[in-house]
Amino acid sequence: MSIKDNLLKIKSVLPEHVTLVAVSKTKPVSDLMEAYNAGQRIFGENKIQEMTEKWEQMPKDIQWHMIGHIQTNKVKFMAPYVSLIHGVDSLKLLEEINKQALKNDRIIDCLLQIHIAEEETKFGLNELELNEILSSESFKNLNNIKIVGLMGMATFTNNKNQIQKEFEQLKVVYDTKKSLSIVNCQLSILSMGMSGDYQLAIEFGSTMVRIGSSIFGGR
């Protein structure tokens, strides 16, 4: 099947309230343009340099989402254009995003990444760390970032029960924080679900899925 066919097939099964991020990391601009020409406007990348090269070459009505782990010293390269940063997991990183957003005279939307997987290697905050950030004095002064939701990645496993448990856990955290009313933290996005588990993620409350290989093929 073509990229266009894959994309339209996935879109046809997504509920209206669920946003599709087409994860295009490692894929050439020609592949992204195929998705673009089929109507896709939101792309997810996991390396700032690669995303910036693609941003330079591609139409300017695309929304670029950074979904990977972020090195503080590279935030400046995406600050002029990035539309949503999914993987924020420290106050230090938020402070740098805020600083670069201010330089560009904009407010950058961010998701805080919550650690839900079993693996040690996956990044993210636990609930205690999340609470520490949200209640800290310095967070309140970050006027050029806005926390608009949470993001999580389930364990890489075939065990559906395990994945389900992790999604449920993230949904609980999301629901408890959704009622917060802090100027720079108003949650409306729950980013969870990839090619292998997005249907399950949607069942458990996902509002944004990040799908790569099911659209563009294996990497």
Ligand X SMILES: *Cc1c(COP(=O)(O)O)cnc(C)c1O
Residue ranges that bind ligand X, judged by CB under 6 A:
23, 25, 46, 67-68, 153, 194-196, 210-214
171/210 with CB nearer ligand X: 210
Structure tokens at 43: 């792309």
120/137 with CB nearer ligand X: 120
CB of 59 to ligand X, least distance (A): 22
Determine how many CB atoms are found less than 10 A away from the CB of residue 131. 14
- Give me the residue whose beta carbon is nearest to ligand X: 212
139/204 with CB nearer ligand X: 204
Give the list of residues 6+ apart from residue 200 with CB closer than 8 angstroms, or none: 160, 163, 164, 167, 193
In Å, what is the CA distance from 16 to each residue of 3, 11, 22, 193?
21, 9, 16, 16
CB of 111 to ligand X, least distance (A): 11
CB of 140 to ligand X, least distance (A): 28
Give the list of residues 6+ apart from residue 141 with CB closer than 8 angstroms, or none: none
CB of 210 to ligand X, least distance (A): 4
65/177 with CB nearer ligand X: 65
